[in-house]
Amino acid sequence: MNRKEKLIYDARAKIFKALAHPTRLWITQKLVDSERCVCEFVDELDVDFSTISKHLSVLKQAGIVEDDKRGKQVYYRLKVPCILKFMHCVEAVIEYQAKEHNKLIK
Amino acid sequence: MNRKEKLIYDARAKIFKALAHPTRLWITQKLVDSERCVCEFVDELDVDFSTISKHLSVLKQAGIVEDDKRGKQVYYRLKVPCILKFMHCVEAVIEYQAKEHNKLIK
DNA sequence: ACAACATTTGGTTATTATGCCATATGTGCA
DNA sequence: TGCACATATGGCATAATAACCAAATGTTGT
Protein backbone atom coordinates (compact mmCIF):
# COMPACT_ATOMS: atom_id res chain seq x y z
CA MET A 1 0.00 0.00 0.00
CA ASN A 2 1.70 3.20 -1.14
CA ARG A 3 1.28 6.68 0.29
CA LYS A 4 -1.54 7.64 -2.03
CA GLU A 5 -3.44 4.43 -1.36
CA LYS A 6 -2.91 4.95 2.34
CA LEU A 7 -4.70 8.28 2.18
CA ILE A 8 -7.60 6.79 0.26
CA TYR A 9 -8.06 3.88 2.61
CA ASP A 10 -7.73 6.07 5.68
CA ALA A 11 -10.52 8.25 4.38
CA ARG A 12 -12.72 5.27 3.64
CA ALA A 13 -11.99 3.68 6.99
CA LYS A 14 -13.15 6.84 8.67
CA ILE A 15 -16.62 6.38 7.19
CA PHE A 16 -16.75 2.76 8.27
CA LYS A 17 -15.54 3.65 11.74
CA ALA A 18 -18.26 6.20 12.09
CA LEU A 19 -20.84 3.53 11.32
CA ALA A 20 -19.14 0.86 13.41
CA HIS A 21 -21.23 1.32 16.53
CA PRO A 22 -24.72 -0.03 17.22
CA THR A 23 -26.04 3.28 18.49
CA ARG A 24 -24.72 5.18 15.49
CA LEU A 25 -26.15 2.61 13.11
CA TRP A 26 -29.50 2.88 14.85
CA ILE A 27 -29.42 6.65 14.57
CA THR A 28 -28.48 6.43 10.91
CA GLN A 29 -31.37 4.09 10.26
CA LYS A 30 -33.78 6.49 11.96
CA LEU A 31 -32.60 9.27 9.68
CA VAL A 32 -33.41 7.32 6.56
CA ASP A 33 -37.09 8.28 6.72
CA SER A 34 -36.70 11.87 7.78
CA GLU A 35 -34.66 14.31 9.77
CA ARG A 36 -34.84 14.01 13.55
CA CYS A 37 -34.33 16.19 16.54
CA VAL A 38 -31.64 15.16 19.01
CA CYS A 39 -34.36 15.09 21.65
CA GLU A 40 -36.02 12.16 19.87
CA PHE A 41 -32.87 10.08 20.21
CA VAL A 42 -32.55 11.06 23.84
CA ASP A 43 -36.07 9.78 24.46
CA GLU A 44 -35.60 6.50 22.63
CA LEU A 45 -32.10 5.53 23.65
CA ASP A 46 -31.19 4.64 27.18
CA VAL A 47 -27.89 6.46 27.35
CA ASP A 48 -26.79 9.83 28.59
CA PHE A 49 -27.65 12.69 26.26
CA SER A 50 -24.01 13.73 26.17
CA THR A 51 -23.17 10.30 24.78
CA ILE A 52 -25.76 10.71 22.04
CA SER A 53 -24.42 14.12 21.22
CA LYS A 54 -20.96 12.66 20.80
CA HIS A 55 -22.23 9.89 18.55
CA LEU A 56 -23.91 12.50 16.38
CA SER A 57 -20.70 14.43 16.28
CA VAL A 58 -18.82 11.38 14.99
CA LEU A 59 -21.37 10.90 12.21
CA LYS A 60 -21.13 14.58 11.35
CA GLN A 61 -17.35 14.59 11.27
CA ALA A 62 -17.46 11.64 8.91
CA GLY A 63 -19.74 13.53 6.55
CA ILE A 64 -22.63 11.14 6.97
CA VAL A 65 -25.09 13.55 8.53
CA GLU A 66 -25.58 17.28 8.71
CA ASP A 67 -27.32 19.34 11.36
CA ASP A 68 -29.47 22.35 11.50
CA LYS A 69 -30.38 24.34 14.57
CA ARG A 70 -33.96 25.54 14.74
CA GLY A 71 -34.85 27.32 17.91
CA LYS A 72 -33.71 25.41 20.91
CA GLN A 73 -33.49 22.16 19.02
CA VAL A 74 -30.99 20.67 16.63
CA TYR A 75 -32.16 18.54 13.73
CA TYR A 76 -30.02 15.97 11.99
CA ARG A 77 -30.46 14.48 8.57
CA LEU A 78 -28.65 12.06 6.29
CA LYS A 79 -26.36 13.74 3.85
CA VAL A 80 -25.75 10.72 1.64
CA PRO A 81 -28.74 8.39 1.57
CA CYS A 82 -26.97 5.58 -0.28
CA ILE A 83 -25.68 4.47 3.11
CA LEU A 84 -28.84 2.48 3.57
CA LYS A 85 -28.34 0.34 0.50
CA PHE A 86 -25.35 -1.26 2.08
CA MET A 87 -27.48 -2.62 4.88
CA HIS A 88 -28.81 -5.25 2.49
CA CYS A 89 -25.29 -6.48 2.01
CA VAL A 90 -24.60 -6.41 5.71
CA GLU A 91 -27.72 -8.44 6.30
CA ALA A 92 -26.57 -10.90 3.65
CA VAL A 93 -23.33 -11.42 5.55
CA ILE A 94 -25.21 -11.99 8.78
CA GLU A 95 -27.68 -14.42 7.25
CA TYR A 96 -24.94 -16.33 5.51
CA GLN A 97 -23.19 -16.75 8.81
CA ALA A 98 -26.37 -17.81 10.56
CA LYS A 99 -26.88 -20.46 7.91
CA GLU A 100 -23.38 -21.81 8.36
CA HIS A 101 -23.78 -21.78 12.09
CA ASN A 102 -26.91 -23.89 11.81
CA LYS A 103 -25.11 -26.38 9.60
CA LEU A 104 -22.44 -26.82 12.24
CA ILE A 105 -25.00 -27.44 14.95
CA LYS A 106 -26.95 -30.09 13.02
CA MET B 1 -33.67 0.78 21.09
CA ASN B 2 -35.19 -2.39 22.52
CA ARG B 3 -33.47 -5.67 23.20
CA LYS B 4 -34.24 -7.16 19.80
CA GLU B 5 -33.05 -4.07 17.98
CA LYS B 6 -29.93 -4.07 20.11
CA LEU B 7 -29.02 -7.54 18.86
CA ILE B 8 -29.59 -6.56 15.25
CA TYR B 9 -27.50 -3.42 15.47
CA ASP B 10 -24.74 -5.17 17.38
CA ALA B 11 -24.48 -7.74 14.62
CA ARG B 12 -24.40 -5.07 11.93
CA ALA B 13 -21.87 -3.01 13.81
CA LYS B 14 -19.59 -6.02 13.90
CA ILE B 15 -19.43 -6.04 10.11
CA PHE B 16 -18.69 -2.34 9.97
CA LYS B 17 -16.05 -2.69 12.65
CA ALA B 18 -14.34 -5.39 10.67
CA LEU B 19 -14.12 -3.05 7.70
CA ALA B 20 -13.20 0.00 9.76
CA HIS B 21 -9.47 -0.20 9.28
CA PRO B 22 -7.45 0.97 6.28
CA THR B 23 -5.45 -2.24 6.05
CA ARG B 24 -8.55 -4.41 6.18
CA LEU B 25 -10.28 -2.28 3.57
CA TRP B 26 -7.26 -2.56 1.37
CA ILE B 27 -7.22 -6.32 1.76
CA THR B 28 -10.92 -6.51 1.03
CA GLN B 29 -10.44 -4.49 -2.12
CA LYS B 30 -7.68 -6.81 -3.28
CA LEU B 31 -10.00 -9.76 -2.84
CA VAL B 32 -12.62 -8.28 -5.13
CA ASP B 33 -10.80 -9.48 -8.25
CA SER B 34 -9.74 -12.86 -7.04
CA GLU B 35 -8.61 -14.89 -4.08
CA ARG B 36 -5.19 -14.12 -2.67
CA CYS B 37 -2.53 -15.85 -0.70
CA VAL B 38 -1.57 -14.32 2.63
CA CYS B 39 1.98 -14.09 1.31
CA GLU B 40 0.87 -11.53 -1.28
CA PHE B 41 -0.37 -9.24 1.44
CA VAL B 42 2.82 -9.69 3.39
CA ASP B 43 4.79 -8.60 0.35
CA GLU B 44 2.68 -5.55 -0.41
CA LEU B 45 1.98 -4.23 3.06
CA ASP B 46 4.66 -2.84 5.26
CA VAL B 47 3.53 -4.39 8.52
CA ASP B 48 4.49 -7.47 10.46
CA PHE B 49 2.98 -10.65 9.04
CA SER B 50 1.42 -11.42 12.38
CA THR B 51 -0.47 -8.16 12.12
CA ILE B 52 -1.78 -9.11 8.70
CA SER B 53 -2.78 -12.49 9.99
CA LYS B 54 -4.80 -10.84 12.72
CA HIS B 55 -6.50 -8.50 10.29
CA LEU B 56 -7.49 -11.46 8.19
CA SER B 57 -8.80 -13.15 11.27
CA VAL B 58 -11.02 -10.16 12.04
CA LEU B 59 -12.45 -10.24 8.52
CA LYS B 60 -13.02 -13.97 8.82
CA GLN B 61 -14.72 -13.71 12.19
CA ALA B 62 -17.05 -11.11 10.74
CA GLY B 63 -17.99 -13.46 7.92
CA ILE B 64 -16.59 -11.25 5.22
CA VAL B 65 -13.92 -13.62 3.94
CA GLU B 66 -13.23 -17.31 4.03
CA ASP B 67 -9.93 -19.12 3.82
CA ASP B 68 -8.63 -22.24 2.31
CA LYS B 69 -5.31 -23.91 3.00
CA ARG B 70 -3.50 -25.31 -0.02
CA GLY B 71 -0.12 -26.72 0.68
CA LYS B 72 1.93 -24.37 2.76
CA GLN B 73 -0.15 -21.38 1.80
CA VAL B 74 -3.50 -20.06 2.88
CA TYR B 75 -5.79 -18.39 0.36
CA TYR B 76 -8.48 -15.92 1.26
CA ARG B 77 -11.50 -14.92 -0.77
CA LEU B 78 -14.52 -12.68 -0.38
CA LYS B 79 -17.56 -14.51 0.86
CA VAL B 80 -20.03 -11.75 0.10
CA PRO B 81 -19.01 -9.70 -2.92
CA CYS B 82 -21.68 -7.03 -2.48
CA ILE B 83 -19.31 -5.37 -0.04
CA LEU B 84 -17.70 -3.61 -2.95
CA LYS B 85 -20.86 -1.86 -4.06
CA PHE B 86 -20.84 0.14 -0.91
CA MET B 87 -17.52 1.66 -1.80
CA HIS B 88 -19.28 3.84 -4.35
CA CYS B 89 -21.36 5.29 -1.58
CA VAL B 90 -18.32 5.76 0.63
CA GLU B 91 -16.60 7.58 -2.21
CA ALA B 92 -19.67 9.76 -2.61
CA VAL B 93 -19.43 10.78 1.03
CA ILE B 94 -15.76 11.61 0.64
CA GLU B 95 -16.25 13.61 -2.55
CA TYR B 96 -19.16 15.49 -1.08
CA GLN B 97 -16.97 16.49 1.81
CA ALA B 98 -14.13 17.49 -0.44
CA LYS B 99 -16.49 19.72 -2.38
CA GLU B 100 -17.70 21.41 0.78
CA HIS B 101 -14.18 21.85 1.97
CA ASN B 102 -13.25 23.62 -1.25
CA LYS B 103 -16.21 25.94 -0.88
CA LEU B 104 -15.02 26.96 2.53
CA ILE B 105 -11.52 27.69 1.29
CA LYS B 106 -12.64 29.88 -1.62
C1' DA C 1 -31.49 40.24 32.90
C1' DC C 2 -32.99 35.70 34.49
C1' DA C 3 -34.74 31.02 34.50
C1' DA C 4 -35.63 26.85 31.98
C1' DC C 5 -34.51 24.02 28.37
C1' DA C 6 -31.65 21.60 24.51
C1' DT C 7 -27.36 20.48 23.18
C1' DT C 8 -22.28 20.46 23.20
C1' DT C 9 -17.83 20.18 25.32
C1' DG C 10 -14.25 18.82 28.78
C1' DG C 11 -12.54 15.57 32.03
C1' DT C 12 -12.00 10.94 33.89
C1' DT C 13 -12.02 6.14 33.79
C1' DA C 14 -12.87 1.53 31.82
C1' DT C 15 -12.78 -1.15 27.81
C1' DT C 16 -11.21 -2.38 23.35
C1' DA C 17 -8.11 -2.24 19.28
C1' DT C 18 -3.54 -2.20 17.24
C1' DG C 19 1.11 -3.61 16.36
C1' DC C 20 5.24 -5.79 17.42
C1' DC C 21 7.92 -9.71 19.20
C1' DA C 22 8.37 -14.37 20.42
C1' DT C 23 6.55 -18.76 20.04
C1' DA C 24 3.59 -22.50 18.28
C1' DT C 25 1.44 -25.07 14.51
C1' DG C 26 1.24 -27.22 10.18
C1' DT C 27 3.19 -28.52 5.51
C1' DG C 28 6.52 -30.04 2.04
C1' DC C 29 11.03 -31.52 0.97
C1' DA C 30 15.76 -33.51 1.71
C1' DT D 1 13.26 -37.48 10.93
C1' DG D 2 14.64 -32.89 10.61
C1' DC D 3 14.73 -28.40 8.38
C1' DA D 4 12.76 -24.49 6.07
C1' DC D 5 8.85 -22.07 5.01
C1' DA D 6 3.95 -20.02 5.68
C1' DT D 7 0.72 -18.77 8.84
C1' DA D 8 -1.52 -18.41 13.40
C1' DT D 9 -1.53 -17.40 18.28
C1' DG D 10 -0.23 -15.46 22.91
C1' DG D 11 1.61 -11.71 25.45
C1' DC D 12 2.53 -7.08 26.20
C1' DA D 13 2.76 -1.94 25.61
C1' DT D 14 0.42 1.79 23.66
C1' DA D 15 -3.33 4.16 21.45
C1' DA D 16 -8.07 4.89 20.47
C1' DT D 17 -13.02 4.61 21.93
C1' DA D 18 -16.99 4.90 24.89
C1' DA D 19 -19.67 6.19 28.77
C1' DC D 20 -20.70 8.98 32.51
C1' DC D 21 -20.76 13.37 35.19
C1' DA D 22 -20.16 18.21 35.43
C1' DA D 23 -19.88 22.44 33.35
C1' DA D 24 -20.37 25.59 29.29
C1' DT D 25 -23.06 27.42 25.44
C1' DG D 26 -26.88 29.10 23.13
C1' DT D 27 -32.05 29.88 22.85
C1' DT D 28 -36.75 31.11 24.26
C1' DG D 29 -40.01 33.15 27.20
C1' DT D 30 -40.87 36.08 31.48
Spatial separation of the C-alpha atoms in residues B47 and A13, rounded to whole Å: 18
**What is the average pLDDT value for chain A, to the nearest integer?**
92
pLDDT digits (tens, 9 = 90+) for A44-78: 999 999 999 999 999 999 999 999 999 999 999 99
List, in order of start, the domains of chain A with CATH numbers.
3-80 (1.10.10.10)
Which chain B residues have any C-beta within 8 angstroms of a chain A C-beta? 1, 5-6, 9-13, 15-17, 19-26, 29, 44-46, 62-64, 79-80, 82-83, 85-94, 96-97
- What is the spatial distance between Cα A58 and Cα B56, in angstroms, rounded to a whole number? 26
User: Is pLDDT above 90 for B41?
Assistant: yes
Residue B38 has pLDDT above 90, yes or no: yes
- In a 10 Å sphere around its CB, with 0-12 CB exposed, 13-18 middle and 19+ buried, how is residue B9 labelled? buried
B21-41: average pLDDT: 96
DSSP state of A52: H
Q: Residue A106: its pLDDT value, please?
A: 59
Radius of gyration of chain A (CA): 17
Asked whether residue B51 carries a pLDDT value surpassing 70, the answer given is yes
Q: How far is the CA of A106 from the CAs of A66, A99, A102, in angstroms?
A: 48, 11, 6
Reduce the DSSP state of residue B76 to 3 states and report it.
strand
Residue among B89, B96, B101 with most chain A CBs within 10 A, to mutate = B89
pLDDT over 90 (residue B87): no
